[in-house]
Copies of this chain bind each other. A is one copy, B any other.
């Protein structure tokens, strides 16, 4: 009798090749010019899911479509697992430092170099191939399966919240598993139990009505690029803490137990310097690097634009300046409230010589997972078998907005079971994914689905 693990082993090359095909589709969700690629990636997934035996549907939204598939033949008594992932990717410009075309996967030293290889195509595809291996093998799946793959994760899941709210029955499950996180080393799997939220804003500063000659007017007009720098600079205190009135009010104090647990996965200054290339670490005093990333909020400049930025010189006094600013938020902080606080601070900081506006682009709530849920035990058991090591529990600095939506709307325990590495370069140039982690991910996901059948009780309807 052939097992799901056997099937995965026999089809390892095919799975690998198919992943490369998916990666080649430049499904960048934030750029309008990639809209047809988004559609193509969604349809590619629908075809693959249908082929392996799921009943599929492509849900259109006001934005990018949602890929959905289900297999419910395990019976009414078996628990249902909702697998979530995303097929959209971050933008990737060759000039940002890529060594090869970000959408033509290049393999080197056992790694696949391409945008989306780790975040999230490689990881969600591992889940999908685990489902295929169970369904195609003689053992079959002991749990009912629902798969939801969205196309707007990198733009804060703009339309998924409403979809989840409007389809609680469709998405009802006993466990939700998400593979979209990383671990610190290949040997040490990690389960993320805390994620930061996000509020993304745009600061616009307007000076003169139009660009002026810096000779004819320089010295009499408050340069909006300078004024913007003055406002942005004043949003932090010299010690690296955030200088927005009320910003930290709702942040929970870390207990000594939490600090102890976090100390186990702390990052050394040396390792941090190596990973990032910065001359010295930075940040709020009084917290370890892991605590800064996992348990403290931030205020980050994601982009700056003003005046003449081409090669050479243009003596322009620009009319306006723009900064993209985002805050990562921790549990108990409310994105809308933080936006209001930052807006009020910007208003206080804006001198009467310019005009400013802080626009809200979008928000995502911070999220927590329950360490004592039975599904968590299933995940620990799965990693032990599939990866060969007991996982650690970590707080992550990133944001998966949908986690908070799922918790709120579906009341389902969520397991963040990553198959990537923190150093995979997600969102940066030369993003990559280890081929052997892809295959270990498939095995671990198979073990997880089987472990859920024994650990998790079916919710009473």
Contact = CB atoms under 8 A, between A and B. Distances in A.
B304 A422 contact: no
Interface in A326-383: 326, 328, 352-355, 361-362
Contacts of A307: 301-304, 324
B282 A222 contact: yes
A220 B293 CA distance: 7
Contact of A428 (B154, B213, B300): B213
Contact of A292 (B219, B315, B352, B428): B219
Contacts of A318: 301-303
B278 A353 contact: yes
A30 B310 CA distance: 9
How many copies altogether? 2
A185 to B, nearest CB: 15
B321 A281 contact: no
Contact of A328 (B209, B215, B425): B215
B219 A293 contact: yes
Contact of A302 (B308, B362, B425): B308
Given A97-B210, A305-B305, A316-B427, A298 B233 contact: no
Contacts of A461: none
A228 interface: yes
Given A236-B226, A280-B353, A316 B302 contact: yes
A298 B219 contact: yes
Interface residues on A, range: 35 or more
A90 B267 CA distance: 50
A148 interface: no
A198 interface: yes
A207 B301 CA distance: 12
A221 B278 contact: yes
Nearest to A295: B219
Interface in A406-454: 422, 425-430
Contact of A279 (B300, B302, B355): B355
Interface stretch (A100-108, A248-256, A391-399): A391-399
Given A225-B302, A226-B232, 12 more contacts: A97-B319, A155-B312, A196-B215, A208-B276, A208-B277, A210-B425, A218-B300, A221-B282, A225-B323, A279-B352, A304-B309, A305-B305
26 contacts: A30-B311, A31-B312, A97-B210, A198-B315, A208-B276, A209-B276, A210-B425, A210-B429, A210-B430, A213-B426, A215-B397, A215-B399, A217-B293, A219-B298, A219-B328, A228-B304, A229-B323, A279-B352, A281-B353, A302-B313, A304-B304, A304-B305, A309-B322, A313-B361, A313-B362, A315-B326
Interface of A: 30-32, 90-91, 96-97, 154-156, 182, 196, 198, 200, 207-223, 225-226, 228-230, 232-234, 236, 240, 267, 272, 276-284, 289, 292-293, 296-298, 300-319, 321-324, 326, 328, 352-355, 361-362, 396-399, 422, 425-430
